A and B are shown apart, each in its own frame.
Chain A
Amino acid sequence: MESSVQSESEVTDSAYRSSHIHSADRLATIRQELQYINDIGKRFVAAFDRFQVHRALLAALQELYSFSACCILLKGDPSYELFIIPSYPLSSEFLEAMIQRIASVATFIDFAPLDPEQLAKTAYLDAPDDLPRSYAKRETPAKEEIGSFLNIPLTVENRIIGMLSLFDEQTDTFDTDLLQLTTMIADYAAVALENVRLRERENALWRQAEFERQRLELIIRSMAEGLLITDREGAIISLNHSAQQMLIQGQASVKLQVPLRRLATETDAAPWLPRLAEIIEQALRGKTVTNQELIISLSGETVPLTLNISAAPLPDANSVPKRPIGVVAVLNDVTSIKQIERLKDEFVSIVSHELRTPLTAIKGYAQHLVRRIERRLRKIRDALPKGTPPVAEPPESYDLRSLNIIQSQSEHLERLVNDLLDLSKVQWGNLDLNIEPFHLADLLAESVRSTQASAEQHTIRLDIQTQDTSILADRIRISQVVGNILDNAIKYSPHGGEVTIRLQVQDGDYLVSIIDQGIGVSPQHYDHIFERFYRVHNTASRQYSGIGLGLYVAKGIVDKHGGRIWFTNNQSIGTTFYFSLPRRPSTQQRAGD
């Protein structure tokens, strides 16, 4: 029993030892393979450029086989790149045969057709540094024909990026048992080469971005316009030289990274800073602000240093909805333009004064002649016996009609001259009002009479809808407003028609409406119609005369009275211009006088 037990124990022990030895061998083999894979993995991971990848690949493959050359064909855009890495010097015939075969195999794995000659011309021979020593060691002469080959597609994430080709002068160099390991090395190489390609692409993009950044910086630096960029708090984070100079001229010591609003409260030296802060804040709220004028020089100068500012929000591309992360503002020094404007206004003012003197004489003598002819006509009519029917109109009637036209036109001319004279006053806010009491209905009736005299095609109708029309205002200026709007109503109704002037009381103020049946106002003119020198050009292929000041001056006068002026297009035809006037000017308007 004991012997039997002992015998069984011996058998078990022997089997255990045999199994243990077998497992130990297997374990050693696995450890060896893992070590090998770990080593080649490290080499590929450490490879920083494609030539280091080639070295790592060559080293890994040479541990498996002894071969003549290893080639890497990479799909490029648009052409292919071929790298030949010889293990030792090869004959040109062998090289040529390799390239021929690579071009042939490539078509089998669905690469675009390759021209071997072209491939040979562009191929890069990446010979290891110790190649001359290999050459010296070589005992047999280089062969001309390929003995054996192996081609493995280089794959990254199921995408074929190229092909690894191994060639040897000897036959049967490559082994099915090692094929799987070879493919694994090719996979490592493919990933490493793709990483190199991505790194190269990243570097190229970075260089390009850096080049663009430098170019942009140069452009911004050399801009005559000032450019400043703020953060989301409204603090200047960057500004160019021109902007710096402009702000220095405005006595501002602008500190970077400090919100403009805070700077504005900290300093009294630059009273314009709050306005700049306000413009920036508007842009930070998402609004694009354009052409805002900012006077930044000290008082006492004839034409102060004036900046024109446009500011736009810089949206955060990553936030939804897009919130501004800052503002970009462009500053233009428009002082010289203002100086020219001032000179032009002065010139216009002088010329207008010179025109007004003869005009006053023409108007006065025309009025005198009208009265004389009217008297003569009355005498002729009185001389006729009562009940005698008029046979024909006396020639004086025609003279009177002509004189009325002269008078009406000279009044029109007077309004134009007055507009020119008032241009600079409105522009610089120096319009003076001579406030006096009068009846608005009388003024409107006088304007109708004057305009009707030279507007034979039109019927001007007065519609007074209120009993009391007394007002405290500048009579001459209000007459100028009505005359300017009426002139436009006549001018832009080329086919005649009715023009109605209506006087109403609305919300305690007088509301004057001038309704015409003319061509109306196209939407593209809506925002500009009250701008100076703005004219509705060539509407319906027709030119309309005028200097584009009438509505600009009218607005200036109405604004100065504390009223409002606007217009609407009528539903059927024509336009209605409205202006409202307070019955008496506010204390502020009076103080302004």
Chain B
Amino acid sequence: MSFNADHSSSVSREQVTEAYLKAIRLIDERVAPFLGRATTRVLVQGAAKRIVDTYPFLACLVKRPYTEVVPSVIQEHLAGVSSTELTAGLNALLDECFAGLRELTGDLIVPPLHDEIIHHLRELQ
């Protein structure tokens, strides 16, 4: 993913979180017509579960769907997490989501969507 960790020192944790939540919402918008509303939700939960050992602050995404994660909830889990670490964790989360999508549909929807998300994240920098 392309949300550059080198530049993230100037970006607040709230901005990083908001940017990635927007990216996930965008994935949801694109995936829902093809695979249904619930798919992105379980993809994100499954992805968070696989990387939570490395990024424990993602535990809130394991326990509840990303749609229920609001800034006040996520702030509780981000105490002591730097923007760089947060970016790395959320990047890994998006990578896992795309890996999941690829497992489901191969290259049917991933390549254009991946490009769109990269573009979207760059715009938010």
Contact = CB atoms under 8 A, between A and B. Distances in A.
Interface stretch (B12-20, B35-43, B74-82): B35-43
Interface size class of A (residues with CB under 8 A): 20 to 34
Contacts of A35: none
A209 interface: no
A160 B106 contact: no
Contact of A176 (B36, B104, B108): B108
Interface string B89-111: 00000000001100111101100
A386 to B, nearest CB: 111
A148 B100 contact: no
Given A151-B104, A183-B34, A110 B39 contact: no
A510 interface: no
A158 B46 contact: no
B42 A160 contact: yes
Interface stretch (A101-109, A370-378, A398-406, A559-567): A101-109
A105 B34 contact: no
Interface residues of B, number: 22
- The interface residues of chain A, by DSSP majority, are classed as mixed
Given A107-B46, A108-B43, A180-B33, A150 B38 contact: no
Determine the main DSSP class of B at the interface with A: helix
B45 interface: yes
B49 interface: yes
A376 B35 CA distance: 122
Contact of A104 (B35, B42, B47, B103): B103
Given A108-B100, A108-B104, A153 B109 contact: no
Contact of A159 (B38, B104, B105): B38
A176 B109 contact: yes
B34 A110 contact: no
Contacts of A183: 34-36
A151 B100 CA distance: 11
Interface in A149-170: 149-153, 155, 158-160
Contacts of A148: 106
Contacts of B43: 108-110
A535 to B, nearest CB: 64
Given A108-B103, A176-B109, A158 B38 contact: yes
B107 to A, nearest CB: 9
Contact of A153 (B33, B38, B99): B38
Contacts of A149: 106
A152 B103 contact: no
5 cross-chain pairs, A with B, having the tightest CB-CB distances, nearest first = A108-B100, A110-B46, A110-B42, A151-B104, A155-B36
Interface of A: 104-105, 107-111, 148-153, 155, 158-160, 174-176, 179-180, 183, 187
